[in-house]
Structure 1
Amino acid sequence: MTSGTACACTERTTDNGEMPRLDELVDALTAGGRRTDRMCHVEHRAARPAQHSAWPQWVHPAVRQALTVRGASSAWTHQATAAQAIHDGHHVALATSTGSGKSLAFWVPALTSIMSTRSGGSISRHRDRATALYLAPTKALAHDQLAALQKLLSAGGLDSVRVDAVDGDTSFDERRWVQAHGDIILTNPDFLHYALLPGHERWSRFLRGLEFLIIDEGHTYRGVFGAHVSLIVRRLQRLVAHYRGGRMPVVVVASATSAHPQQSAARLIGVSEDEVVAVTEDGSPSGRQTIVLWQPPQRESGFTQAPSDVVPGVVDELTGGWDHSVDDDLTGGADDLSGVITDAPVPSQPRRPATAEAVDLLADLTAHGARTLAFTRSRRAAEYLAVHTRDELLMSVPQLADSVAAYRGGFLPEERRALEAGVRSGSIRALASTNALEMGIDISGLDVVLIVGWPGTRMSLWQQAGRAGRAGSDGLVVFIAREDPLDTYVVSHPEAIFGAPLEATVFDPTNPYVLGGHLCAAAAELPVTEADLTLFGGCRAREVLDQLVDRGTLRRRPRGWYWVHDEPAAQFTSIRGDGQHVVQVVERSTGRLLGTVDAGAADGQVHDGAVYTHGGSTFVVAHYDVDNHVALVDQEVVAYSTWSRDVTSIEIVSTASERVVPAEVAGDPALVEWGFGQVNVHGQVTGFTRRRVPSGEVLGHESLDLPVRTLPTAAVWWSVSTAVLERAGLAVEEVPGALHAAEHAAIGLLPLLVTCDRWDLGGVSTAIHPDTERATVFVYDALPGGAGFAEQGFARGREWLLATRDAVARCQCVDGCPSCVQSPKCGNGNSPLSKEGAIRLLTVLLEVDVGELSPADAPFA
């Protein structure tokens, strides 16, 4: 066994019951005990028995028959409770575990209403029959729900209920059929925003009968995306009320992970909390679940530090400007951030890479008959894991090699659906996936979930873990730590996961940067009236409308606000980012489309010479056509992979507001300068490195001539003089770490003050910035043009830094942890960081800015 410092393994049981033994899955995980020292903590969760309840008497006989055929003749308690509340006309926040049958809870009342209004046979009755709309964050989830719903309808002989998934891929002929006949439509926010709402007259028959709006995976609607979706939902409700004589649909918000489901659902749909019934007591059965925190061993020999291409002294927190550390249909995805070469010091005896460790575990578990889903942080990692697990199985159990596959964004729709079907049927026993499978796609019967690297939030962790042991069976969950301070902290501090609260689902639908575009879209659909203002945020909505009138975007008339331009208003608001094109990956010899890559990630993934892996086969990019958004590739068998190198910088374009401290010192340089204004965040892929797989040996470096990608946005910044740094006792070599730690902590605390999400923000810190000529920390909005968060940070600067200093100082860790100065999306691997330096710097800064601090000043005292 590989030697190295072992974890001190701890073990406990969540409930006060008898400790469940570690079964044969854990034996396979530990290789019969030879890998036991890598388990840092084992958590046991006892099985939960089912709590049954009868379906309500009002359920339509045909629906009841369908339930019986599908094995659900009786309900679990939360299903019956939620169904009754929906039937009674209450909005419902349904927050129970993954695989708990939430879908039946809303389909039963919806189908009952549809069947009831279809009886009678009159033409008018048929025209005004009840309809239902299901809203999913991704196309894949909508199609998965369609398949499940069709099985239920078939079981009850409910073939007369017309149900279909409608999205951007749906032909106009199919759309016309659904407009005329559809009873249930399954779609996504994009289709609502760009197609259905602007063309609502064509959907008037469906909207006139809309009694139920079902919003699935409600926890995904956070940050700026959450604000967009909230306003889309409100626009929809306004149109439904228009067609239904003022009556709104009943709204169901479903989620397996939600910190405050009632509060979040109410904000999402624009009602008060007391109008929402929260159903959170889970009556579904759950098997035992064993959760292992796992740390790979240290490697035998040292490791040479990689060359640096990062501007000295500059560190940044990567954001949605052009890159993401996650990969799903919400963001488009990007390459693994570990592939970016930085100036972070590399340990002399690093640990084994988490993906390499996951290969061994996945191969052993598959060989022992387990059905396993392995979540990775990137597309590259998912493909790597699948390819090398197949290679391992070819040498040990060759008949199982073809049962391993990768699942990620960028696959064609038919490929993804084939993979989902393979997992359900059992032909695929091991699936390496990005977080594209984190949401509620119905993949049951899994024995094990491997989580390779911290997924970013506890909410995502539990969403992924919920895939193990569904339908009441036992499950094993293994979190494998990467060589990263954040991951290391998690495996050595289990209290950071177990018992800790979920992160809040934070979004602000009254954000004027988001609200303006949706008010224009709403006005283009129907004139916005005084009565609509409450739905869109009251006084804030009126202020934004007045600004739009002043700009000539809208026109005010006695009956309301009107859109006066010929262009479709919805096209001016991109709800998922900057609206860049995707890059198509095409096999040069055949013209076959292999997949797509988000434009923001393409420079780092499909540049000339890049190795692109698809479905287990390797391709080398022959030519990346930046202008036409195409990467031409040739299939080749190579023994290396490629890692891109990039540089990041930020420039101040204009300063809208500034404040200097102390302001009364004339002629002397200010100790602290605050600024808010427009900035350009520049990122450029400058080259790439070839490394042998799996050893990591560097085979060579190549330069690239790719364009600089610029994110024009808004930022708040503060810069400090040399006198402040000296007063904080910071030596020159300590300054970058102190600034970097302060930057991370400030980004983590700003959402508490300005109602945004950490993923809506980015940051850069530098010991000397050319525009300020000082040590400076920037925090910027991670959306083109800005979203208002940085502006609020400037306005509440003292309160913000006071909260930041307090949170870092009160954290019980020694050197910094995810609770204070480490970031889940740091492009420099959370290095360098100096928690103690950040505390000293922030304390001096606040003493200069707001005077001596007292305990009563602390916002968390």
Structure 2
Amino acid sequence: MDVEEVLEALRRDPEFAPQITAWRTWEARPARYASTPEWLDRRLQEALAEMGIARLYTHQVQALEAAARGEHLVVATGTASGKSLCYHLPVLQACRENPQATALYLYPAKALAHDQEAFLRALAGKLDLPPLGTYDGDTPPAVRPRLRREARLLLTNPDMLHAGILPRHPHWASFLASLRYVVLDELHVYRGLFGSHVANVLRRLKRICAFYGSRPQFLCASATIGNPGELAGRLLEEAVTVVEDDGAPRGRQHLLLYNPPLDDPALGLRRSLLLEAEKLAARFLEAGLPTVVFARTRLGMELLLTYLRERCGGRRGRLRGYRGGYRAEVRREIEAGLRQGTVQGVVATNALELGVDIGTLAACIMAGYPGTIAAARQQAGRAGRREAPSAAILIAGPGPLDQYLVTHPDYFFSRPPEQAHINPDNPFLLVDHLRCALFELPFEADEPFGTVRPAPYLEALAAEGCAFPSGGRYYWLGGNPPADFSLRTASADVVTIVDVSGEKPLVLGQLDRPGAATLVYPGAIYLHEGRFYRVERLDWEGGTAVVRPARPDYYTQAGLEVDWQVLLEAGSAPQGQGRRHHGAVHVQVRSTSYRRVRLYTHETLGHGTIELPPQEFLTQAFWLTLPEPAQEIVRPDYGPNWPEMRLRARQRDRFTCQHCGMPEAQAGREHDVHHRIPFRRFGYRPGENEAYLQANDLSNLVTLCRSCHARVDHGPRESTVAALQGLGHLLRHVAPLFLMCDPGDIQVSTRLRMPPEGLPVLLIYDNCPGGAGLSPHLFQVCSEWLQAGRSRLQECPCPNGCPSCIGPLEEGEEGAKEQVGRILELLV
């Protein structure tokens, strides 16, 4: 069967067809060509013809001509439109004209660099190209000196540029002095925290190039986003020419939005996202069609791979998983298998969104909205990368964002891709990169750093003893600052996962520290390429997780406790009857417990405790202070004697947590007082009975610190608490409509009472040190964001609240949805 036949069978399927909320088809589009410039080297044209590239698309010629004029440029055309030639051809032309010219290729992923190196080496066999090579963390130490001496075309990533090349620039003096071009591929990836770091790395690169007498030209390529020129200009701090008139051909494309059917309409529970994705992917795989399935999380990816392998039986060996954390050789083996056809299906995270050549795929299944329209289009574009017809199906998850989009298909199809934002002047990032720049070269007292005047920062570094002023210059004193931080993660180090079941330990992969705290704690089930491993031990200090193969009937999910403190309020404004704010906060995140969840049915089998140090960082945040009427809506009513009994319980327990022994003075806040038997079980009705007296009896109360209280099995929440947390659930999941961010880039926390007013507060923070500039944007679009949340709440068909609006509810929480609606009325 071909793609069209599988789609027609789905169209006639009485279970599938009613759940399609939108089906859009784009007809095939022919190529548009332009005349190759006469000045393009004849041997280069002949080499392209030998590789089957006889003519150039219109956008490729536009890029060539802009580069020849000396302009910095960004090419923002569709997936598989030949963007790489837009930067390869100017580089190779420069090498033909000047054998001493050098070029630096920057890719956000190692796989991309190795993929493009293969293309360049194929050309090298037909041209007299200068030495080239990839210089990254996988490059053997014995090879690195030769690359430093001889390479004229160097492929690397921003991380290696930051930590391995710029700090050792004297070893690269000849290369940097002749640097003609710098290529930035997959520019849309350089957003948020990572993009802000990369902008500062480029400031450092341009500064060192100026020291050696070169001024490189920048050639960028990007997937379709809303502001490619603005993003490139912000990264480069230069005027940029945008090329976005796509002349490449396109096969017939189908894109379907699918909403899993309701299993329980009263509770708003839909069929499992992963099981629906497994079923639909199997339809294409069983028809012999190469298929990619995208999952939003590592855990989801591994579970989907497990389910598909069990379903497809004989095709097990032709189904592979692909995500960050796999060893480099494993990822390249999978990529080669997809190109050669030995791998028929791949289940991946967004690690495969980027433009690695994986051959021609017929179908793409997206298990959940990936967070942005741009990312959804990028994932869908992985199918039909030539001129053949293709299909992409977006399966909506139960969350408010997915449900909003699947019920508003015009929003999804008509809205332009999101804009990518960076904040390179974020002082938390800027000071780190100024340390690096000072380590690399002394600073003149009045020397700019990009568009920033760094004199105040240099004076602060001198006061700290890190810099030494002398003769109008600042000099670095000791240490290697590039080694102290990562461009991508909250911490500079990783945890290595080791299987100790064999004769020799086998390294399975690595995780950053925040990921390790939620995936490889003792007792966790770790999934790798569809195989299950039980974590026996985690050496947090040494950075090693010891695992053994296991065959459980469950997987594990970690729970987090979040504490935060406002350090600086940068802005505040009225928001309905409440107020909105943004500023800097200190966040402490701790993994406290985990659930054992049965495979397929996803029922909870039990709980366990996690004992790990907290992750602490400074970041940017947005918060809403709810008005006094909202306080009355969300305040739990524990009866008129609650303040007195709460104080008496804390006094009896000597203001000390009765589980861990921590005194309130050490915690820096009043401890919580917990009802041993949940308050709701006593049936208190204000004005009707006095059941609160028994509920608040001292024998039913115990003092606990916040961390220990988070580990207690509370059972169902009070409906008022459920309302505040439900509001957070709703708004956090709707926020990516207005932000170009991944689902995990922002997190939410709520408080019933926040000093000094004691009003309820909802906080959304950037989930990375220093922040990524997301929170200030929420401050600007707050009314539109709240209105979108209100629309989702009103349109959700559930009567009392469900995962598609305010999150799952339990018995006793039935009033929460109505309470969230009342709170939103006060704010919009």
SS of 1:696's equivalent? coil
Match of 1:165 among 131, 134, 142: 134
Contact kept? 1:688, 1:703, Cα under 8 Å: yes
User: Which residue is equivalent to 1:88?
Assistant: 69
CA distance in 2 between partners of 1:789 and 1:352 (Å): 36
Match of 1:51 among 4, 16, 32: 32
* Cα shift readout 1:733-778 (whole Å, capped 9, x = no counterpart): 457535763797599889999x999966543112235997542233
CA distance in 1 between partners of 2:573 and 2:330 (Å): 59
User: Which residue is equivalent to 2:359?
Assistant: 444
CA distance in 2 between partners of 1:32 and 1:743 (Å): 34
Match of 2:496 among 584, 599, 608: 584
User: Which residue is equivalent to 1:152?
Assistant: 123
Taking only the aligned residue pairs, the percentage that are identical comes to 29
Contact kept? 1:751, 1:757, Cα under 8 Å: no
Give runs of aligned pairs for residues 236-255 of structure 1, distance below 5 A. Answer: 236-244=205-213, 247-255=214-222
Determine whether 1:358 maps to 2:277. Answer: yes
The aligned amino acid for 2:354 is M
SS of 2:443's equivalent? coil
Determine whether 1:601 maps to 2:601. Answer: no
Contact kept? 2:268, 2:804, Cα under 8 Å: no
The aligned amino acid for 1:75 is L
User: Which residue is equivalent to 1:475?
Assistant: 390
SS of 1:628's equivalent? coil
Contact kept? 2:251, 2:389, Cα under 8 Å: yes
User: Which residue is equivalent to 2:748?
Assistant: 763
CA distance in 1 between partners of 2:397 and 2:771 (Å): 33
CA distance in 2 between partners of 1:187 and 1:373 (Å): 27
Determine whether 1:36 maps to 2:36. Answer: no
Give runs of aligned pairs for residues 206-605 of structure 1, distance below 5 A. Answer: 206-244=175-213, 247-271=214-238, 275-299=239-263, 348=267, 350-394=269-313, 398=314, 400-529=315-444, 532-533=447-448, 535-539=449-453, 541-563=454-476, 565-590=477-502, 591-605=505-519
CA distance in 2 between partners of 1:556 and 1:825 (Å): 59
Contact kept? 2:596, 2:607, Cα under 8 Å: yes
Determine whether 1:131 maps to 2:102. Answer: yes
User: Which residue is equivalent to 1:66?
Assistant: 47
Give runs of aligned pairs for residues 746-757 of structure 1, distance below 5 A. Answer: none
The aligned amino acid for 1:264 is L
SS of 1:495's equivalent? helix
Q: What TM-score does the superposition give when structure 1 sets the normalisation length?
A: 0.77
User: Which residue is equivalent to 1:111?
Assistant: 92
* Cα shift readout 1:621-672 (whole Å, capped 9, x = no counterpart): 233333333222222333x1222242413143x755699999xxxxxxx998
* Cα shift readout 1:551-609 (whole Å, capped 9, x = no counterpart): 4433344443332x110132344322322532222222221122223321223322333
Offset of residue 524 of structure 1: 1.8
User: Which residue is equivalent to 1:681?
Assistant: 588
Offset of residue 454 of structure 1: 1.0
SS of 1:227's equivalent? helix
* Cα shift readout 1:157-211 (whole Å, capped 9, x = no counterpart): 44x4211110123233312101111011111111011110010010011111110
SS of 2:498's equivalent? strand
Contact kept? 1:66, 1:153, Cα under 8 Å: no
* Cα shift readout 1:7-47 (whole Å, capped 9, x = no counterpart): xxxxxxxxxxxxxx982131354575652222221011122
Say which is worse superposed, 740-749 or 83-92, in terms of deviation: 740-749
* Cα shift readout 1:836-857 (whole Å, capped 9, x = no counterpart): 33433436xxxxxxxxxxxxxx
SS of 1:620's equivalent? strand
CA distance in 1 between partners of 2:22 and 2:733 (Å): 30
SS of 2:37's equivalent? coil
Say which is worse superposed, 378-387 or 100-109, in terms of deviation: 378-387
SS of 1:253's equivalent? strand
Contact kept? 2:619, 2:765, Cα under 8 Å: yes
The aligned amino acid for 1:51 is R
Call closer, same or farther: CA 1:347–1:230 in 2, change over 3 Å: farther
The aligned amino acid for 1:627 is E
Offset of residue 827 of structure 1: 11
SS of 1:767's equivalent? strand
SS of 1:56's equivalent? coil
CA distance in 1 between partners of 2:261 and 2:734 (Å): 31
Call closer, same or farther: CA 1:743–1:672 in 2, change over 3 Å: farther
SS of 1:694's equivalent? coil
Match of 1:630 among 517, 541, 544: 544
CA distance in 1 between partners of 2:105 and 2:510 (Å): 27
* Cα shift readout 1:31-64 (whole Å, capped 9, x = no counterpart): 7565222222101112221011232222223322
Q: CA RMSD for the aligned pairs?
A: 3.7
Offset of residue 279 of structure 1: 0.5
CA distance in 1 between partners of 2:589 and 2:118 (Å): 44
CA distance in 2 between partners of 1:180 and 1:584 (Å): 33
Equivalent residues, number = 732
Determine whether 1:813 maps to 2:791. Answer: yes
Offset of residue 266 of structure 1: 1.0
CA distance in 1 between partners of 2:186 and 2:228 (Å): 11
User: Which residue is equivalent to 2:163?
Assistant: 194
Offset of residue 295 of structure 1: 1.6
CA distance in 2 between partners of 1:432 and 1:758 (Å): 19
CA distance in 1 between partners of 2:417 and 2:543 (Å): 39
* Cα shift readout 1:471-507 (whole Å, capped 9, x = no counterpart): 2221101001122222122112112210101111101
Say which is worse superposed, 371-380 or 586-595, in terms of deviation: 586-595
Offset of residue 225 of structure 1: 1.4
CA distance in 2 between partners of 1:802 and 1:208 (Å): 44
Match of 1:183 among 130, 152, 176: 152
Task: Note the residue ranges of structure 2 that are not aligned, 5 or more in a row.
Answer: 638-718
Call closer, same or farther: CA 1:506–1:829 in 2, change over 3 Å: farther
SS of 2:288's equivalent? coil
* Cα shift readout 1:324-357 (whole Å, capped 9, x = no counterpart): xxxxxxxxxxxxxxxxxxxxxx964622111111
SS of 1:257's equivalent? coil
Determine whether 1:737 maps to 2:723. Answer: yes
* Cα shift readout 1:428-472 (whole Å, capped 9, x = no counterpart): 111110111011111231111111101011111111111111122
* Cα shift readout 1:526-557 (whole Å, capped 9, x = no counterpart): 22336741x52244x34433443444433344
Call closer, same or farther: CA 1:738–1:701 in 2, change over 3 Å: closer
Call closer, same or farther: CA 1:298–1:102 in 2, change over 3 Å: same
User: Which residue is equivalent to 2:654?
Assistant: none
CA distance in 2 between partners of 1:234 and 1:634 (Å): 46
Contact kept? 1:686, 1:704, Cα under 8 Å: yes
The aligned amino acid for 1:689 is R
Contact kept? 2:191, 2:420, Cα under 8 Å: yes
Call closer, same or farther: CA 1:823–1:789 in 2, change over 3 Å: farther
Contact kept? 1:130, 1:210, Cα under 8 Å: yes
User: Which residue is equivalent to 2:661?
Assistant: none
Call closer, same or farther: CA 1:737–1:537 in 2, change over 3 Å: farther
SS of 1:470's equivalent? coil
SS of 1:205's equivalent? helix
CA distance in 2 between partners of 1:91 and 1:170 (Å): 30
The aligned amino acid for 2:202 is V
SS of 2:154's equivalent? strand
